[in-house]
A = this chain, B = another copy of it.
Amino acid sequence: MGENDNSEIIEHHVDEEMEKKGTRSRTASSSFPGSVTPSDREGHSGTQSSHRLLAYSDALISIIATVMILPVAHTKLQDNDEELRQSVQLLLSTKIAVYLMTFLIVTVAWAAHIRLFQVIVRIDDCLALLNLACMMLITFLPYTFSLMATFPENILGILLFCGCVMVMGVIQSVIVVYAFSRPFLLNEQIQISENLTVYKHHILKVIMRVPLMCFLASIFSFILFQISYVLLAIVIFLPYISRSLKWCRSKAIGQVEETPDSILFYTFLPEEPLSKDRVEAFSDGVYAIVATLLILDICEDNVPDPTVVQKQFGGSLIAALQDYGPEYLAYFGSFATVGLLWFVHHSLFLHVTKATRFMSMLNTFSLAFVGGLPLAYQLTHEFPRNSRNELEAIQISCVIIFFAGIFQLAIWVVALYNEQETLHPYVRYGGREHVFMLAKLSLYPCVALGTFFLTCILSKFSASIFHLMEITVPFAFLVLRLLVRGGLAMLRLTFCPDRPDQGSVVEEEDDETRVPFNALVT
């Protein structure tokens, strides 16, 4: 552990910043090639860095993606009437489906937004206002989904949804046309390229595909509404379908030649880079809104009415609040879990140097599970002790935590496959933080899995086991570095201490402390 370990990781990040800055200053100095005459820019001198606009868009989109979990939360499950219970469960599953669909669609829209603003790197007032209009339509999408889910046979929901998407497509096309008419707003790589119009047409073609499909869907909805749903499902998987079609064609006919420029943007390849900053900002937004979901409910519903306190509890506020006790516990439990999952995410992305589309997809899956967490926690405290429902709620919580954690781990595993490009040397195979990162990422899945099986065996003590888990995990994170060291030392003592070969991933982890990582770092 050399003297300059710290400075290395910091300098690495500084290097990154310097790189970014370098790109920006290059962009700035070369953003006015001779071809752009002063008259082009007349009246549009207020070009601005797009950073804050994108941060605001990320905040809006993350809130909207997560918000449809609230109707799920406010559906109360009753135990008494079997028939009523079944209808409520049907309603609940509808709402969960709406939540997941919204999350998926909104993140697809978000990815499209990232792609667009990777091409347009500078904005002016006009683009900012057009973007706001686009945001307004995105935030309205969840409502159209609710309508579709509640009235699946009524075409109004489909029409509203398609209308929103079509207007958004038009606005985005206007943004593209506007930006290409002012090339100093564009990404430098496109700016210096010869075939600006090829780019423009390629991007417009990609953007207009979705509204076109929606237009078809809205027409078909008048004839046979089932076809509309199929068309809408195709919209989501369109890039994948077109990719696989292209692949099939290239296998059948031979390599199809593409223009080299168009490969850079809007490729929809799994390794297409998506802005790491924006993936982080979006995740932060989701984690923040999810962490506070329960306190919203508590603040609104759990302040007892003064008259009720006077009548039912003889004026004793403490007695009245004890009724809500479990909900506070649920709040602190869910806040801690979401906070720690954020912490793991933060630690991971600190060492990620480039985010790809595939990583961002896994991240979305992880976030979708995180969104359901507070409600699962709330359910654990809603049922009487030792009831079957309580056990179920606790096990659902464990499953959700497990999947939220395992998808985070999957991000790292995917990143490891292309570690030279996507990861900081410290967390690559054999890097000095490799084992520690693995421990951080696998702590929650392991604990959740353990708790799940423990509650299966000791179903009587399920609540106690769950609460014990809630309390110990934060402390486990605090002393994780010590635990990892201890574990490694133990392993080294148990097995042969100087085994040289590294066959599998598991074996490699044990060996990391002996790998000459300095060679890797420098």
Enumerate chain A interface residues (CB-CB to B < 8 A): 1-7, 9-11, 13-14, 17-18, 21, 24-25, 28-29, 31-32, 38, 41-43, 45-49, 52-53, 55-56, 59-60, 63-64, 67-68, 70-71, 74, 122, 125-126, 128-129, 132, 135-136, 139-140, 142-143, 146-147, 150-151, 154, 156, 184, 280-281, 284-285, 287-289, 291-292, 295-296, 298-300, 302-306, 309, 317-318, 321, 331-332, 335-336, 339-340, 342-343, 346-347, 349-350, 433, 436, 474, 477-478, 480-482
**Residues of B with C-beta under 8 A to A125:** 343, 347, 477, 480-481
Are B140 and A295 interface neighbours, CB within 8 A? yes
- A5-B45, A47-B9, A146-B303 are contacts. A59–B295 as well, Cβ < 8 Å? no
Are A63 and B289 interface neighbours, CB within 8 A? yes
Residue of B10, B291, B436, B477 touching A60 (CB-CB under 8 A): B291
Are A302 and B126 interface neighbours, CB within 8 A? no
Are A48 and B17 interface neighbours, CB within 8 A? no
Measured CB to CB, the closest approach of chain B to A75, in angstroms, equals: 10
Measured CB to CB, the closest approach of chain B to A195, in angstroms, equals: 24
Q: What are 6 A-B contacts with C-beta separation under 8 Å?
A: A6-B47, A55-B284, A56-B288, A125-B480, A143-B303, A150-B305
Residue of chain B at shortest CB distance from A342 = B56
Measured CB to CB, the closest approach of chain B to A518, in angstroms, equals: 13
Complex Cα distance A67/B63, Å?
Answer: 13
Measured CB to CB, the closest approach of chain B to A328, in angstroms, equals: 8
**Residues of B with C-beta under 8 A to A280:** 52, 55
Measured CB to CB, the closest approach of chain B to A435, in angstroms, equals: 13
Are B139 and A317 interface neighbours, CB within 8 A? no
Are A346 and B154 interface neighbours, CB within 8 A? no
Complex Cα distance A21/B16, Å?
Answer: 11
Are B46 and A143 interface neighbours, CB within 8 A? no
- A29-B7, A74-B300 are contacts. A132–B481 as well, Cβ < 8 Å? no
Residue of B281, B287, B303 touching A147 (CB-CB under 8 A): B303
Chain A interface helix/strand/loop/mixed: helix
Are B284 and A318 interface neighbours, CB within 8 A? no
Are A296 and B128 interface neighbours, CB within 8 A? no
Residue of B5, B6, B143, B151 touching A317 (CB-CB under 8 A): B151
**Residues of B with C-beta under 8 A to A335:** 136, 139
**Residues of B with C-beta under 8 A to A7:** 28-29, 31-32
- A10-B47, A295-B142, A335-B136 are contacts. A63–B288 as well, Cβ < 8 Å? yes
Measured CB to CB, the closest approach of chain B to A375, in angstroms, equals: 14
**Residues of B with C-beta under 8 A to A68:** 299
Are B64 and A295 interface neighbours, CB within 8 A? yes
Complex Cα distance A436/B67, Å?
Answer: 37
Are A299 and B9 interface neighbours, CB within 8 A? no
**Residues of B with C-beta under 8 A to A126:** 478
Are B52 and A346 interface neighbours, CB within 8 A? yes
Residue of chain B at shortest CB distance from A346 = B52
**Residues of B with C-beta under 8 A to A135:** 339
Residue of chain B at shortest CB distance from A26 = B14
Are B67 and A284 interface neighbours, CB within 8 A? no
Residue of chain B at shortest CB distance from A8 = B45
Complex Cα distance A41/B67, Å?
Answer: 43
Measured CB to CB, the closest approach of chain B to A522, in angstroms, equals: 15
Are B136 and A332 interface neighbours, CB within 8 A? yes
Complex Cα distance A288/B65, Å?
Answer: 13
Residue of B5, B59, B128, B300 touching A285 (CB-CB under 8 A): B59
